[in-house]
Amino acid sequence: MTDSVDPVAYNRAAWDREVESGNEWTRPVGPEVIAGARAGDWSVVLIGYQAVPRAWWPDDLAGMEVLCLASGGGQQGPVLAAAGAAVTVFDNSPRQLERDREVATREGLEVRTVLGDMRDLGVFPDACFDVVFHPVSNVFCPDLLPVWREAFRVLRTGGILMAGFMNPDVFIFDIPALEESDELVVRHPLPFSSLDLPDDERRRSYGDGPIEYSHTLTEQIGGQLAAGFTLTHFVEAPHHVGATARYMSGYFATRAIKP
C-alpha cells in the first residue's frame, strides 16, 4: 500500500469521514464559547486538552492576521475570530472547513477558509500573517521541513509560530495491546507509519482513519530552527487518552518567532 497511496488524497477523504463519525476534533464550539471569546474569556488548545498559555499570544488579538494551519473543525479558528483576530483556516479536509464556516455563519464571524496541503501555502504571499497556529496535525504529514519553511515564509518579521505535535516514542507501542488491554508492549521501530502495517492490522488498529507518521524531534524542533525560527517556549503534556498517559508525555508544543 505504501507506494500506491497519495497521503494527501487519502487523509482528505479520511478526515471527511471523521467528520461524519463525530470525531471529537470535528465538533464545532457552541455559542457560549464564542460569547465568552467576544467578552475576552477565551482559550484554544495546541495539545490534548491543555490550553495554550495566554502569554504565548500577543497582548491584543484585534487586527492580528492569524493562520490556523491544518486546524479545521470549527474549534480554534472561530474562537480566535471572536477574540478579534482576522482568521484564515487552512485545512486538507473540505468537511472540516465546513465546520468553521458553520460556526462563522451561526455567529456572524468573518473566517476565511482555504483547502490545501499544509506543505504548500503558495496561495498566500510572503509575510502576510502575524501568527501561525498549528495544532497536532503534522502527524498526518509525511515530511515536515516544507511545513516549517512555508510557515516561516508567510509570517511577518516578529511573527509567532505555535505548533503542537506527537511525542514520536508513543508509536513504538503495539496499538491493539494499548487499546484492548491497556498494556504497553514495545513493538514498532521508529520512524513509524501506519502505512507500513499489514492491511488487516492497519484496519484493526486504525479502521479507515487517516494515515499517521511519527516524526523525530530533529524533524519537529530542529526543522523549525533550520527554517529560521527562534524557539521561545516549550511545554509537554500526556496524551489525552490511553495507557501511555500514566508514564510519559504524549504531546509537545513549541512557540517560536521569525526574527
**CATH number of the domain to which 12 belongs:** 3.40.50.150
Q: Tell me whether residue 242 is in a domain.
A: yes
Q: Tell me whether residue 192 is in a domain.
A: no
Positions of E strands within the chain? 45-47, 50-51, 65-69, 86-91, 111-115, 129-134, 155-166, 230-237, 251-257
Statement: the pTM of the whole predicted model exceeds 0.75:
yes
Cα distance between residue 6 and residue 3, in whole Å: 8
Q: Tell me whether residue 28 is in a domain.
A: yes
- How many domains, the chain? 1
Q: Tell me whether residue 215 is in a domain.
A: yes
Half-sphere exposure of 35 (CA within 13 A, CB side): 3
Q: Tell me whether residue 101 is in a domain.
A: yes
Residue range(s) defining the domain that contains residue 162: 2-167+211-257
Cell output for 153:
515564509
pLDDT one digit per residue (tens) for the chain, 259 residues: 556 899 999 999 999 999 999 999 999 999 999 999 999 999 999 999 999 999 999 999 999 999 999 999 999 999 999 999 999 999 999 999 999 999 999 999 999 999 999 999 999 999 999 999 999 999 999 999 999 999 999 999 999 999 999 999 999 999 999 988 999 999 999 999 999 999 999 999 999 999 999 999 999 999 999 999 999 999 999 998 889 999 999 999 999 999 9
On the 0-12 / 13-18 / 19+ scale of CB atoms within 10 A, 55 is: exposed
Whether the Cβ atoms of residue 175 and residue 241 lie closer than 8 Å to each other: no
